[in-house]
């Protein structure tokens, strides 16, 4: 491996590590469109699914059937009928749906049974697949005077039975067919089944593997991240395909009902699932209920990330050195800015209670995220924190960032304005930092 590709691999691997830890033990519902299954992409997708399972991700896979049905109907010289976007399922269509489900299931089971190439031991237990009567359905009934036949909606998901299979280490494979209490089968929409599974299982993510790259803005740009409100605004614009609108609706629904993330990506591109789940840039569109970014109090788990942020600046003499022991003892003073599991910035607030004085320290934004306003957000956060703790004057000491503070309402101050113990430290470390002050009253 060349030094460049080796460095790139190391960088990618480091980038993936937090996502690997985060997803282990979490449940993901994968909704795989029949476009993907019919396009001969099952073998490569199965490898990525096996990889996820080997990392401890609990997987529920629900598949579509529409393209199979279209093929079967075309061969029989028939077409599917729809009303208000819902498929009308008569007796004959139901038989075709059952056939299609059978075919897809066997294909998926076979693909997932192949020996995973990435496993260290090729004899390692293969991924077990569990299927069953997990979806209880009810008929859609008569809509606008049209009998929707065997088209159904989800009545209940048997979460307990699914969790049991997941606990046993199985991947749960669900077809979009539900059973009614009267013993009949009903044809369900892929998005309907996927959203019900994700919400009932309290999944971490619902991932749509579709035939489109992801969600596009009205001017055609691929959107890598969207909040539920932004997704709703796009839906209101009505500028997307019927499939995309259905996926967006399901994504918004699951986010409003406790699922942390929804993703829409192209299942036709090799590796898109892995890229979406384990890289910062992703491959399609990730959706969250609110902003992907948050600032929160740091804890001991963040120390490694904080060291990564501050170490280069300590070496360059920009920040005062702080070792792990110092960070462990002062972690309660730190806050971190996290964007989708990744720490991009930190800041510390030290409060001198008696004097109602605060010191902002260790404000750092990772070089790959600078100039995006994160510094400003961390400053706002500390200003609020300081006010809430009764601080009337906030100080910041800096050798290189004076102008930045200057432009944000700070003014130059004298050493004598600092609390005595801080003055002593200042004289001891001989850094001759400039002192800035901002009044909070
Ligand atoms: C200072 C720092 C935290 C700002 O973070 P950021 O997320 O890039 O800040 P914002 O996006 O809110 O602001 C960016 C603006 O600040 C400016 N800026 C960045 N560093 C600056 C500096 N040292 N002096 C003056 N201005 C600076 C940028 O040019 C940009 O200006 P523009 O909006 O006119 O283009 C970041 O540059 C950093 O980590 N620097 C190294 C560590 C440091 O010096 N910390 C302060 C010591 S406590």
- CATH number of the domain within which 419 lies: 3.40.630.30
pLDDT for 239 equals 77
Residue nearest to atom 5 of ligand 1 (CA): 375
Among 375, 399, 409, residue to substitute to test ligand 1 (most atoms within 8 Å of Cβ): 375
Q: Quote the ligand 1 centre to 404 CA distance (angstroms).
A: 6
pLDDT for 215 equals 95
Q: Which residues line ligand 1 (CB under 6 A)?
A: 313, 318, 361, 363-365, 370-376, 396, 398, 400-401, 403-404
The count of domains in the chain is 2
Q: Is the domain of 58 the same as that of 124?
A: yes
Out of 265, 291, 317, pick the residue that ends a domain.
291
Do residues 180 and 138 touch, judged by C-beta distance below 8 A?
yes
> pLDDT for 171-210, tens place per residue?
999 999 999 999 999 999 999 999 999 999 999 999 999 9
pLDDT for 12 equals 80
Among 371, 397, 399, 435, residue to substitute to test ligand 1 (most atoms within 8 Å of Cβ): 371
pLDDT for 439 equals 94
> pLDDT for 390-421, tens place per residue?
999 999 999 889 999 999 999 999 999 999 99
Q: Quote the ligand 1 centre to 403 CA distance (angstroms).
A: 9
Q: Quote the ligand 1 centre to 401 CA distance (angstroms).
A: 7
Q: Quote the ligand 1 centre to 420 CA distance (angstroms).
A: 29
Q: Is the domain of 20 the same as that of 129?
A: yes
Least Cα distance to 41 among 243, 197, 267 occurs for: 267
The pLDDT confidence band at residue 98, using thresholds 50, 70 and 90, is very high
The pLDDT confidence band at residue 164, using thresholds 50, 70 and 90, is very high
pLDDT for 175 equals 97
Residue nearest to atom 33 of ligand 1 (CA): 371
Q: Is the domain of 16 the same as that of 78?
A: yes
| Residue 159 or 291, more confident | 159
Q: Quote the ligand 1 centre to 439 CA distance (angstroms).
A: 21
> pLDDT for 2-32, tens place per residue?
777 788 888 788 778 878 888 999 999 999 9
Residue 284 has pLDDT above 80, yes or no: yes
Residue 65 has pLDDT above 90, yes or no: yes
Q: Is the domain of 141 the same as that of 12?
A: yes
pLDDT for 120 equals 52
Strands of 9-124, DSSP E: 27-32, 58-63, 81-83, 86-88
Out of 274, 291, 308, pick the residue that ends a domain.
291
- CATH number of the domain within which 253 lies: 3.40.1160.10
Among 401, 433, 437, residue to substitute to test ligand 1 (most atoms within 8 Å of Cβ): 401
372 CA closest ligand 1 atom index: 11
pLDDT for 86 equals 85
Task: Give the separation between CA 409 and CA 51, rounded to whole angstroms.
Answer: 51
pLDDT for 81 equals 87
Other Cβ atoms within 10 Å of 154 Cβ, number: 21
Out of 257, 291, 325, pick the residue that ends a domain.
291
Task: Give the separation between CA 108 and CA 129, rounded to whole angstroms.
Answer: 9
Residue 116 has pLDDT above 70, yes or no: no
Q: Quote the ligand 1 centre to 376 CA distance (angstroms).
A: 8
Q: Is the domain of 287 the same as that of 343?
A: no
pLDDT for 121 equals 54
Q: Is the domain of 162 the same as that of 55?
A: yes
Domain hosting 349: range is 294-439
Q: Is the domain of 245 the same as that of 281?
A: yes
Q: Is the domain of 23 the same as that of 149?
A: yes
| Residue 153 or 17, more confident | 153
> pLDDT for 326-337, tens place per residue?
999 999 999 999
For 329, residues 6+ apart whose C-beta sits below 8 A from its C-beta are none
Overall average pLDDT of the 119-145 stretch: 84
Q: Is the domain of 192 the same as that of 256?
A: yes
366 CA closest ligand 1 atom index: 39
Q: Quote the ligand 1 centre to 182 CA distance (angstroms).
A: 66
Q: Is the domain of 286 the same as that of 350?
A: no
Do residues 381 and 374 touch, judged by C-beta distance below 8 A?
no
Strands 393-398 and 434-439: antiparallel
Out of 38-42, 105-109, 164-168, 194-198, least confident range: 38-42
pLDDT for 129 equals 96
pLDDT for 423 equals 95
397 CA closest ligand 1 atom index: 48
Residue nearest to atom 25 of ligand 1 (CA): 404
347 CA closest ligand 1 atom index: 48
Residue nearest to atom 32 of ligand 1 (CA): 371
pLDDT for 400 equals 86
Residue nearest to atom 34 of ligand 1 (CA): 371
| Percent of all residues in the chain with a pLDDT value above 90, rounded to a whole number | 74
The pLDDT confidence band at residue 117, using thresholds 50, 70 and 90, is low
Residue 124 has pLDDT above 70, yes or no: no
Q: Is the domain of 251 the same as that of 334?
A: no
In the DSSP assignment, the letter for residue 169 is T
Least Cα distance to 185 among 110, 99, 105 occurs for: 99
Q: Is the domain of 129 the same as that of 258?
A: yes
Q: Considering the chain, what is the average pLDDT of its residues?
A: 92
Q: Which residues pair with 88 in a beta bridge?
A: 81
377 CA closest ligand 1 atom index: 12
Do residues 59 and 167 touch, judged by C-beta distance below 8 A?
no
């Amino acid at each position: 491996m060349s030094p460049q590709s080796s460095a790139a691999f190391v960088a990618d691997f480091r980038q993936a590590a937090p996502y690997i830890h985060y997803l282990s033990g979490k449940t993901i519902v994968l909704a795989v469109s029949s476009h993907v299954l019919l396009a001969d992409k099952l073998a490569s997708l199965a490898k990525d699914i096996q990889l996820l399972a080997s990392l401890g991700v609990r997987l529920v896979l629900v598949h579509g059937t529409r393209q199979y049905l279209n093929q079967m109907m075309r061969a029989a010289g028939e077409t599917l009928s729809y009303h208000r976007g819902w498929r009308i399922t008569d007796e004959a269509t139901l038989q075709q749906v059952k056939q299609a489900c059978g075919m897809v299931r066997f294909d998926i089971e076979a693909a997932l049974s192949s020996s995973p190439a990435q496993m260290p031991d090729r004899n390692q237990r293969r991924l077990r697949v569990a299927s069953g009567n997990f979806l209880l359905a009810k008929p859609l009934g008569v809509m606008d005077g049209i009998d929707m036949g065997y088209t159904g909606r989800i009545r209940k998901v048997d979460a307990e039975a699914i969790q049991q299979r997941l606990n046993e280490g199985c991947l749960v494979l669900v077809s979009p067919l539900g059973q009614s209490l009267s013993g009949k089968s009903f044809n369900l929409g892929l998005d309907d089944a996927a959203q019900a599974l994700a919400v009932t299982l309290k999944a971490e993510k619902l991932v749509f593997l579709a035939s489109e790259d992801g969600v596009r803005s009205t001017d055609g740009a691929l959107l890598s991240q969207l909040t539920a409100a932004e997704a709703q605004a796009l839906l209101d614009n009505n500028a997307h395909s019927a499939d995309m609108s259905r996926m967006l609706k399901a994504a918004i629904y699951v986010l409003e009902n406790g699922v942390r993330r929804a993703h829409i990506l192209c299942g036709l591109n090799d590796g898109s699932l892995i890229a979406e789940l384990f890289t910062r840039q992703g491959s399609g569109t990730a959706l969250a209920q609110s902003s992907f970014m948050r600032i929160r109090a740091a804890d001991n788990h963040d120390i490694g990330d904080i060291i990564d942020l501050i170490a280069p600046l300590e070496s360059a003499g920009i920040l005062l050195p702080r070792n792990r022991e110092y960070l462990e003892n002062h972690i309660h003073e730190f806050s971190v800015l996290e964007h989708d599991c990744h720490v991009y910035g930190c800041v510390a607030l030290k409060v001198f209670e008696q004097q109602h004085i605060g010191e902002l320290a260790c404000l750092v934004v990772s070089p790959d995220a600078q100039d995006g306003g994160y510094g400003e957000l961390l400053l706002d956060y500390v200003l609020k924190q300081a006010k809430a703790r009764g601080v009337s004057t906030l100080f910041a000491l800096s050798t290189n960032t004076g102008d930045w503070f200057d432009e944000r309402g700070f003014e130059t101050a004298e050493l004598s304005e600092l609390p005595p113990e801080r003055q002593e430290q200042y004289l001891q470390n001989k850094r001759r930092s400039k002192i800035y002050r901002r009044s909070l009253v």
